[in-house]
Amino acid sequence: MPDIDLAAPLCPADLHSAATPVSVRVDASVRDRVERGRGFLRDVLDEKERPVYGATTGFGALVGFAGREEEADQCDNTLAHLGAGQGPDLPHDVTRAALLVRVWSLAQGLSGVSAHVIDGLAAMFATTFVPAVPRYGSVGASGDLIPLAYATQALRGRGHAYVEGRRMPAADALRQAGLSPLALDGRDALALVNGTSLTTAATALALDSVRASHRAIQALTCLLADLLGCDPGFLDPRLLTAYGHRGAADVADGMRKTLSGMRPSGTRALQEPYSIRCSPQLLGAAEDALRYVDGVVDADLSSVSDNPLFFPGDDLVVHGGNFFGQPAAFASDVLAMVTAQLGNLAERQLDLLVDPARNGGLPPMLAAGPGRQHGMQGVQLATTAFVSEIRRAAVPAGMQSLPTNLHNQDVVPFGTQAALRAHDMAALLRLLCGSLAVGLRQAAHVGARRPTAPGCGTLLDALSEAIPPVDPDRPLDADVRKAADLVTATLA
């Protein structure tokens, strides 16, 4: 079982590990700082005259009213009204990744939570327990309030959850997983929901997926160029140095290595279509944009997103806005734009490959017997639908602010929508990579030359071993998924 240490920084690999049972360690240093923060909260509350949002008050626009007197009642006061989500349940890997981000934030000791909250979440990760969390309801402004409330309620034994992939009442799921319901007071409950953990997790997972597709498209572009016999001059280092963009130079360097040893056929036109000739510029701009998203994700994974925060060493309770998911909203919008253009590139390359006017005389649709067979025709139709769906979803979410909550939340980032949308788009981009990969494998079957670059030959051999030729026609949906898995994993 993999091991995650809450005393160490989180990384995207930890979020992937959390999709299945994983050991989450709570060492003495974590316990000490959590208990110190909790003790400071108790001292502040004992003073009576120092208000603490959510512990002694109502929530959101009702902060000017007193909360419930009993701590257990204040927990219910926090969570009950947030049971307003709708829609399908979130993917399990996203939900568990969000809870890992949440427990890491709470484990920094600035949220005033009980130590048993950290222990309870750590215990959950060693099982297959997954809260059932509806997709719709968060605006990402006071954190992911509604989705995290559903997760918290499931950990208390309320609502629904999954164990071993089966959905059931949360109380039954806890029993089957060997877990005890979490007992929470008002501060514990608010700390569990008052952060951007779902937004951060979905952005990080989407980024990893898009990066894998980005690497795959670089390699598939090289294989396309080699199969067609293109002149690799469009990757000349002097050309890319003059272009002046670091991402383009780095991408071109990697593509030159993949194409090392390639011999052009001498039969192609002087200049290739932009989907080949401008690929280092396009992929390089994507690389520069992805590096920006890398920085946002790194910062969010090391962020304490909560309100208020408690600083025992300074005898200070600070009320502020660290639950505001604007950085991830902008980053996810950038990720959406990158995904859209990468998807465009893959779809246009497949279109070039199936067109006998541009593919060097290969049969139309790469059909082994045009008319009697149809080769890649169905796959190309599907890729057109995938690109259309990606384009429709690429409208920026981070600029869609709408005031809510009696204008307490008078600006909102919609980071949750941006992140989950980016996660969906990343899955479609993987399918576009798989579609192009199947097309390249089929091109080799219907007459394209054997790659002359050893790196391209290795990639084609892997595809040929995994994907039979389309001869005769057959459904290709599973082959596209298999090819997508192969090129995004092999080229990581």
Express each pLDDT in 144-179 by its tens digit.
999 999 999 999 999 999 999 999 999 999 999 999
Residues 105 and 14 occupy one common structural domain: yes
Report the distance separating Cα 184 and Cα 304, nearest Å. 20
Same domain, 24 and 108: yes
Mean pLDDT of the 221-242 span = 97
Residue closest to 355 by CA, chosen among 336, 376, 339, 326: 376
Q: Do 173 and 223 fall into the same domain?
A: no
Q: Tell me the catalytic residues.
A: 53
Q: What is the mean pLDDT of the chain?
A: 92
**Within this chain, do residues 169 and 213 fall inside the same structural domain, yes or no?**
no
| Section 428-457 average pLDDT | 98
Work out the burial of residue 488: count CB atoms within 10 Å of its CB; fewer than 13 is exposed, 13-18 middle, 19 or more buried.
Answer: buried
CATH number at residue 121: 1.10.275.10
CA distances from 436 to 96, 156, 248, 338, 448 (A): 32, 47, 22, 18, 15
Mean pLDDT along residues 428-434: 98
Q: Which SS3 state, helix, strand or coil, does residue 236 take?
A: coil
**Could you tell me which residues come within 8 angstroms of residue 470 by beta carbon, excluding any fewer than 6 positions away?**
366, 367, 368, 373, 375, 376, 438, 442, 445, 476
Last residue in a domain, options 195, 230, 256: 195
Distance (Å, whole) CA 411 – CA 403: 6
CATH number at residue 342: 1.20.200.10
| Per-residue model confidence as pLDDT tens digits over 340-374 | 999 999 999 999 999 999 999 999 999 999 999 99
Neighbouring residues of 236: CB distance < 8 A, sequence distance ≥ 6:
none
Q: Within this chain, do residues 368 and 454 fall inside the same structural domain, yes or no?
A: yes
Last-in-domain residue among 177, 195, 213: 195
The domain of 166 spans 3-195
Q: Please tell me the predicted confidence (pLDDT) of residue 407.
A: 56
Among the candidates 155, 180, 195, a domain finishes at 195
And the tokens for 384?
A: 């057109």
Taking only the tens place, the pLDDT of each residue in 36-74 is 999 999 999 888 778 777 677 766 655 655 656 666 667
Q: What is the pLDDT of residues 241-258, one digit of tens each?
A: 999 999 999 999 999 999
**Same domain (yes/no): 266, 130:** no
Per residue in 297-322, pLDDT (tens digit) is: 999 999 999 989 999 999 998 988 88
pLDDT at residue 492, rounded to an integer: 52
Helix (H) or strand (E) holding 167: strand 166-169
Two structure tokens written together for 153 = 């309620």
Backbone φ and ψ of 298, nearest 5°: -60, -45
What is the token pair recorded at 169? 């009442």
pLDDT digits (tens, 9 = 90+) for 446-455: 999 999 999 9
Domains held by the chain: number: 2
| Residues β-bridged to residue 160 | 169
Shared domain for 396 and 360, answered yes or no, is yes
d(CA 230, CA 172): 61
Dihedral sign of CA atoms 314, 317, 321, 322 in order:
positive
How confident is the model at residue 69, as a pLDDT? 64
pLDDT of residue 368: 96
Q: What percent of the chain has pLDDT over 90?
A: 80
Beta bridge partners of 310: 317
Check whether residue 260 and residue 331 sit in a common domain: yes
Q: How far is CA 341 from CA 196, 269, 358, 388, in A?
A: 28, 25, 21, 12
Residue 313: Cβ within 10 Å count = 7
Based on the fold, state whether residues 79 and 104 are members of the same structural domain.
yes
Indicate the pairing of strand 166-169 with strand 160-163: antiparallel
Planar angle of CA 109, 91, 196, nearest 5 degrees: 30
Q: Which residue has the tokens 């005393």?
A: 7
| Nearest by Cα to 328 from 430, 397, 392, 410 | 397
pLDDT of residue 62: 58
* One domain, residues 182 and 210: no
Q: What is the sign, positive or negative, of the torsion defined by CA atoms of 72, 77, 78, 84? A: positive
Kindly state whether residues 126 and 226 are assigned to the same domain: no
Residue of higher predicted confidence among 64 and 387: 387
User: What length does the chain have?
Assistant: 492
Q: Is the pLDDT of residue 480 over 80?
A: yes
Give the CA distances from residue 8 to residues 93, 108, 204, 227, in Å, rounded to whole numbers and listed in that order: 21, 10, 18, 47
- Mean pLDDT computed over 251-269: 96
Instruction: Spell out the residues 6+ positions from residue 148 whose beta carbon is closer than 8 angstroms to its own.
Output: 98, 102, 133, 192, 193, 195, 197, 198
d(CA 325, CA 406): 20
Q: Identify the CA nearest to 471 among candidates 383, 382, 376.
A: 376
Which of 199-203, 440-444, 487-491 is least confident?
A: 487-491
Q: Which residue has the higher pLDDT, 267 or 492?
A: 267
Q: Given this model, what pLDDT does residue 92 score?
A: 98
Do residues 307 and 450 both lie within one domain? yes
Three-state DSSP class for residue 316: strand
Each residue's pLDDT tens digit, 82-100: 999 999 999 999 999 999 9
Which residues, 6+ apart, have CB-to-CB distance to 26 below 8 Å?
6, 107, 118, 119, 122
**Residues 139, 190: Cα–Cα separation, whole Å:** 16
| Pairwise CA distance, residues 436 & 463, whole Å | 11
Q: Sort 46 into a burial class: Cβ within 10 Å, 0-12 / 13-18 / 19+.
A: exposed
Q: Are 95 and 205 in contact (CB under 8 A)?
A: no
Contact 487, 433 (CB under 8 A): yes
User: What are phi and psi for residue 418, nearest 5 degrees?
Assistant: -60, -45
94 vs 363: CA distance, rounded Å? 43
Is 301:102 a contact under the CB 8 Å cutoff? no
At 379, list the tokens. Answer: 């796959």
The H or E element spanning position 94 is helix 92-106
Residue 107 scores a pLDDT above 70 = yes
